[in-house]
Amino acid sequence: MTTLDDETIIVTGASRGLGASMAKRFAREGANVVLTARSEPELQEVADAADGEALVAPADVTDEREVRAVVDATVDEYGTVTGLVNNAGIGLLNMYGERSVLHEVDTDDFRRILNVNVTGVFLFSKHVVPTLIDAERGNVVNISSGLGRRGAAKWGPYVASKWALEGLTRTQAAELADHGINVNALDPGGRVQTGFWDHLPASEREDVLAPDVMDDAATALLAQGPDGITGESMPADEWAQRL
C-alpha cells in the first residue's frame, strides 16, 4: 500500500478542485502537506477538512517573493521539502466562461495565463529544487492536460501554456536525474469538476470526472524513490498501469 510517511509536499492551487482533493489525500497518506493558493480562507477550509498535517501558506504563484516565502515557511516548519505538485492553472474558460480564437485573445489575458501556468511552475520549481538536491531525493509532479499534447481551436493560451509545461517537465527531468529527483507530468484524462466547466449545463456534465481522479496516480508518483520513472507525461489512468 502506498503511503507518504516522512514526505513534505507543497501543493499549488490547493484551495479547491483537483488541488484540494490531492492535498487531502496526501495528508491522509501521512505527508506533511503545505497548501498554497491566493485565498487564505479557502485554504483554511481545506486544511480543516484534511485528515492529517496541513500548513496554510497563501501566495500568488507569479510573485517570486511570495513563492520563496512559502518554501521558507515549509522548511522552517518541517525541516525540508521532498515533493512539489505544480497544480495552479487558469484559462479563458474559467476566467470568462468562454473561449476565443487566438487572434482575438486580449494580450493581457494571454500573458496572465502564461504567467500563472508556466512562470508559476518555474518559480516554485526554482525555489524547491535546491532543497530536493540537498536531500538527494524528491519528486516534482506538474499537472498538465491532454491539450499539452495536441492543439484545439479556441484554446490557444491554455494550449501554449501546457505545451510549455510538457517541455519544462522533460527538460528538468534530464537536469535532475543525477540528483535522484523525478520530474513527471500528470493529467486527469478528461474534463473534471473544476471552475473550467462551471458554465456547462447539467446535461453536459454527466461525463465530467470527479476531482479525485488523479489522487491515486499523484500519490504513487510522490512516493517514488530516486530510481523512479522520470521525464514522462500521461493521464491518470495510464500512470495507474505504470506505477
C-alpha dist (Å) from residue 26 to 6, 75, 215 = 11, 18, 8
Residues ≥6 apart with Cβ < 8 Å to 143: 13, 18, 85, 86, 87, 89, 185, 186, 187, 214
Q: Nine-digit cell at 82?
A: 521532498
Catalytically annotated residues: 158
What is the total residue count of the chain? 243
Helix extents (H) in 136-210: 156-176
Task: Report how far residue 59's alpha carbon sits from residue 147's, in angstroms, rounded to the nearest whole number.
Answer: 26
